[in-house]
Amino acid sequence: MSNSQLILNKMDRRIQEWKTCQDSRYVFLSCYKMMSANMLVALSNDEFHDSEWVGKLLNRFADYYFDGLSCFDCGDQTPEVWLAAHNATLEKELSELQMLVLGVNAHINYDLVLALYDMLAPEWKSLTEEERKLRYEDHCHVNNIIARTIDAVQDRILEPENRFLAFIDIVFGRVDEYLISRLISSWREDVWKNTQVMLQVSNDIEMENFRKKIETEVLELGDTICSV
Contact (Cβ atoms closer than 8 angstroms) between residue 226 and residue 86: no
Contact (Cβ atoms closer than 8 angstroms) between residue 60 and residue 115: yes
pLDDT at 205: 97
pLDDT at 178: 59
Q: What is the pLDDT of residues 110-162, one digit of tens each?
A: 999 999 999 999 999 999 999 999 999 999 999 999 988 876 666 554 554 45
Listed in sequence order, the residues at least 6 apart from 66 whose beta carbon sits closer than 8 Å to its beta carbon are: 7, 10
Q: What is the pLDDT of residues 22-57, one digit of tens each?
A: 999 998 999 999 999 999 999 999 999 999 999 999
Q: Give CA–CA dist 66/72, Å, rounded.
A: 10
Length of the chain: 228
**What is the pLDDT averaged over residues 17-23?**
94
179-200 and 113-120 helices, crossing angle to 10°: 50
pLDDT grade, residue 177 (50/70/90)? very low
More confident residue, 118 or 172: 118
Give me the percent of the chain exceeding a pLDDT of 70.
87
Q: Average per-residue pLDDT in the chain?
A: 89
Cα separation values, 158 from 50, 74, 100, 141, Å: 34, 32, 10, 24
pLDDT at 29: 95
How is the chain split into domains, by residue range? 3-227
pLDDT at 183: 86
b/e string for 124-161 if b means 16 or more Cβ within 10 A? beeeeeeeeebbeebbeebbebbbebbeebeeebbeee
Q: Give CA–CA dist 26/215, Å, rounded.
A: 23
Q: Give CA–CA dist 89/98, Å, rounded.
A: 9
Contact (Cβ atoms closer than 8 angstroms) between residue 172 and residue 195: no
- Flag whether pLDDT at 174 surpasses 70: no
Identify the CA nearest to 211 among candidates 199, 198, 200, 220: 198
More confident residue, 55 or 98: 55
pLDDT at 76: 93
pLDDT at 170: 55
What's the pTM?
A: 0.90
The distance of Cα 222 from the centroid of its chain, to the nearest Å, equals 13
